[in-house]
Chain A
């Protein structure tokens, strides 16, 4: 079973605060993704990457930065957090794009007060 580890599992911050969410996969997968999940919206893609140093913009990128430092590590950065970014965040990985199973981490629940 593919392994994707997210940290922290829960995070509370204040409006305007800085937050970094971390994700590590040990599957040797090329693609990594950051999603947010909100009731009524399903999963929405924030950013994704197909390798170290690469970054692609997803469907809801505003207010988020991301960086893929290695094959294994993908970070999501919220530099001026707002209450609208309160959500459940999932990291996922896949071998390739578009035809492969996504393997998700356990998720990070972020609250912005």
Chain B
């Protein structure tokens, strides 16, 4: 079983809607989390990172982190077709290595 679980595996959201993606670690030794976005046929690019409990907002994107439950979520408001991509969650473990989830495929329907 993967140590970083992402849900859902895929998600269809209408244009203008809210997309909510989840990521939970079963490794109690992780602390920092990142969200990367990978458009089809492209390489992953860092979208947002979060290290402290609470919320972080950048434009239409908001990330939440609950360190006690090792759960982070990414919320995209006013979703655009250009947001359609694979979203990857990564967590740093005690060896400073990144553990990656298998991703959520987000499709924004015009």
- A residues near B (Cβ < 8 Å) are 40-45, 90, 97-99, 101-102, 104-107
Contact = CB atoms under 8 A, between A and B. Distances in A.
12 contacts: A41-B102, A43-B100, A44-B100, A98-B92, A98-B97, A98-B98, A101-B49, A102-B36, A102-B46, A104-B44, A105-B43, A106-B42
A107 B2 CA distance: 23
A101 B101 CA distance: 16
Given A98-B97, A101-B49, A102-B98, A107 B103 contact: no
Given A44-B100, A102-B98, 13 more contacts: A41-B102, A42-B100, A42-B101, A43-B88, A43-B90, A43-B100, A45-B97, A90-B43, A98-B97, A101-B34, A102-B44, A105-B43, A106-B43
Closest 7 A/B residue pairs (Cβ): A98-B96, A104-B43, A42-B102, A42-B100, A43-B100, A101-B46, A97-B96
B32 interface: yes
Interface of B: 2, 4, 32, 34, 36, 42-46, 49, 88, 90, 92, 96-98, 100-103
Contacts, number: 42
A42 B88 contact: yes
Nearest to B42: A106
Given A42-B2, A42-B88, A98-B92, A107 B43 contact: yes
Contacts of B101: 42
Contacts of B4: 42
Nearest to A58: B97
Contacts of B42: 106
A72 to B, nearest CB: 18
A98 B32 contact: yes
Contacts of B43: 90, 104-107
Contacts of B45: 104
A99 B97 contact: no
Nearest to B103: A42
